[in-house]
C-alpha cells in the first residue's frame, strides 16, 4: 500500500482485500462472513434487480495523527439504514450488526486507511439488497447486507474549493411523499439524467427544488444544502431530502459557534440573501458553493471564488473532530480497536 498516491486519490471505486456479507434467510439474520470476491451471485428474479429493493449508506474512517482509526457517528448511519429498510419493506438490520460489519470491514482492510495528513479517508459503503426472487411486485424473502470499503479523496475534484451548482425545474429526484428521505438506489437512478447534464454543462451538481411547488430549495444530488445569512445557518426542511448526518453535525457546530440555526422552508429567491453557501455530506464533507445558476430564470447567485469565513470555520471544526485533532464533546467519534 506504501506506493498508493494517497494525496491524489479521487472519489472512485477500487478493490481492497475483502468485504463483509450477512444474509437474512428464514426470517433471521445469519453470521457476518468475510469474502475476498468483489462479485455477488444472485437469482435473476432478485427484487433488487427488478423493483429496486436496495438501500445503501456512506460513512468514512479517518486515520488520526495518533495513528488511530476513527469512524464518525456510525450509529446514525445504522439507524438511517433501518429507516430506509422500513421505507421499502426490507428487514431492519440490528444496529450492533451494522457496527460490527463496518468495524470488521475496516479491520480487514486496515492498510487501505489513508495516512493522516493526506486529506484522504476510507469510504465505507454498506449495502442492503433484496436477493430473493419475486416476479409480482412484492418484497423478497431473502436479503443480503454487505460492507465494502475503498480509500477516497474529495468527492468534487476541487476539494475545499467553491464550485458551481445549477437549478433545472424539469427534473425531480424524489416525490413529495416518496422516498427522498431514505437512502435508496431509486433516488439516485432518478438523479442521473440531471446530474450528468449538470456535469456536462460545467456544474458540480444539481440543486433540486421541492417537487410539488418548485418554490423551495430541497438539496443537491449527493449532499444537503445550507446558506449563511447574517449570523444564521439556514438549511431546508423538507420531507423529500435525505436527513444528512453531516448537516446535523454542522447545525450543532454552528450553534456552538453562537449562530442561529434555521431549519425551515427556504424559498429559491432567498439564495440572493446568503453571504455564503455550502453543500454537505459524507462524501462532499463541506463543499463551498461558488454560485448557483437558476437555468430556467437565467439568474446567477454568486458567493465567491474563495470559501467564506463561516464555511471555513465549520469545515475545520468538523474535520478536526473527525480526524481526532479536537475534543469530541458529543461522542460522535468511535475509535476502531
Binding residue (CB under 6 A) for ligand PLP from 130, 281, 308, 324 = 281
Question: Which grid cell is 229?
Answer: 445569512
Residue 245 interacts with which of ligand COI, ligand PLP, none, CB < 5 to 8 Å by class: ligand PLP
| 3 state DSSP class of 241 | coil
Is residue 219 involved in binding ligand PLP (CB under 6 A)? yes
What is the rounded CA–CA span in Å between residue 58 and residue 181? 15
Instruction: Provide the terminal-to-terminal Cα distance of the chain, rounded to the nearest Å.
Output: 21
Q: Binding marks (x or -) toward ligand PLP, 1..20, rule CB under 6 A?
A: --------------------
| Beta carbon nearer to ligand PLP, 46 or 81 | 81
Binding residue (CB under 6 A) for ligand PLP from 223, 234, 253, 333 = 223
Is residue 109 involved in binding ligand PLP (CB under 6 A)? no
The CA angle 43-94-32, to the nearest 5 degrees, is 55
CB of 58 to ligand COI, least distance (A): 2
Residue 153 interacts with which of ligand PLP, ligand COI, none, CB < 5 to 8 Å by class: none
Give, to the nearest 10 degrees, the angle between helix 74-87 and helix 95-108.
120
Is residue 58 involved in binding ligand PLP (CB under 6 A)? yes
Binding residue (CB under 6 A) for ligand PLP from 20, 146, 152, 242 = 242
Residue 97: φ, ψ to 5°: -70, -40
Which parts of this chain interact with ligand COI (CB under 6 A)?
58, 222, 281-283
The residues near 207 (Cβ < 8 Å, ≥ 6 apart) are: 165, 166, 167, 217, 218, 219, 220, 225, 292
CB of 326 to ligand COI, least distance (A): 22
Which DSSP string do the residues of 148-196 spell out, in sequence order?
EEEEE--SSTT-SS-EEEEE-TT--SS-TTTTTTS-BHHHHHTTHHHHH
CB of 30 to ligand COI, least distance (A): 26
The residues near 5 (Cβ < 8 Å, ≥ 6 apart) are: none
What is the rounded CA–CA span in Å between residue 233 and residue 235? 7
| Beta carbon nearer to ligand COI, 54 or 142 | 54
| Beta carbon nearer to ligand COI, 33 or 75 | 75
Nearest CA to 32 out of 126, 123, 133 is that of 126
Binding residue (CB under 6 A) for ligand PLP from 181, 224, 238, 322 = 224
Q: Using CB under 6 A, list all residues that contact ligand PLP.
A: 58, 219, 222-224, 242, 244-247, 281-282
Amino acid at each position: 500500500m506504501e506506493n498508493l498516491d494517497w494525496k491524489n486519490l479521487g472519489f472512485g471505486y477500487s478493490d481492497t482485500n475483502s468485504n463483509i456479507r450477512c444474509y437474512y434467510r428464514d426470517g433471521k439474520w445469519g453470521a457476518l462472513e468475510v469474502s475476498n470476491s468483489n462479485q455477488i451471485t444472485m437469482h435473476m428474479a432478485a427484487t433488487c434487480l427488478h423493483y429496486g429493493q436496495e438501500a445503501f449508506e456512506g460513512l468514512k474512517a479517518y486515520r488520526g495523527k495518533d495513528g488511530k482509526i476513527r469512524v464518525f457517528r456510525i450509529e446514525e448511519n445504522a439507524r438511517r439504514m433501518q429507516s430506509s429498510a422500513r421505507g421499502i419493506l426490507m428487514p431492519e438490520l440490528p444496529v450492533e450488526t451494522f457496527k460490527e460489519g463496518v468495524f470488521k470491514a475496516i479491520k480487514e482492510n486496515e492498510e487501505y486507511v489513508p495516512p493522516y495528513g493526506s486529506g484522504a479517508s476510507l469510504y465505507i459503503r454498506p449495502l442492503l439488497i433484496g436477493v430473493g426472487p419475486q416476479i409480482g411486485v412484492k418484497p423478497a424473502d431473502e436479503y443480503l447486507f454487505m460492507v465494502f470499503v475503498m480509500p477516497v479523496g474529495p468527492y468534487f475534484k476541487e476539494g475545499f474549493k467553491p464550485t458551481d451548482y445549477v437549478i433545472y425545474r424539469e427534473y425531480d429526484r424524489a416525490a413529495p411523499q416518496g422516498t427522498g428521505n431514505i437512502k435508496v438506489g431509486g433516488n439516485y437512478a432518478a438523479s442521473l439524467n440531471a446530474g450528468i447534464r449538470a456535469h456536462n454543462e460545467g456544474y458540480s451538481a444539481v440543486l433540486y427544488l421541492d417537487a410539488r411547488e418548485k418554490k423551495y430549495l430541497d438539496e443537491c444530488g449527493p449532499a444537503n444544502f445550507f446558506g449563511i445569512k447574517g449570523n444564521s445557518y439556514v438549511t431546508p426542511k423538507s420531507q423529500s431530502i435525505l436527513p444528512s448526518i453531516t448537516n446535523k453535525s454542522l447545525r450543532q457546530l454552528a450553534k456552538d459557534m453562537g449562530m442561529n440555526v434555521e431549519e425551515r422552508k427556504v424559498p429559491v429567491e432567498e439564495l440572493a440573501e446568503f453571504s455564503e453557501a455550502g453543500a454537505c455530506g459524507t462524501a462532499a464533507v463541506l463543499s463551498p458553493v461558488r454560485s448557483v445558476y437558476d437555468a430556467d430564470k437565467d439568474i446567477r447567485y454568486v458567493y465567491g471564488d474563495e470559501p467564506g469565513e463561516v464555511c471555513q470555520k465549520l469545515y475545520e471544526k468538523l474535520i478536526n473532530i473527525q480526524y481526532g485533532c479536537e475534543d469530541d464533546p458529543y461522542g460522535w467519534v468511535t475509535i476502531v480497536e
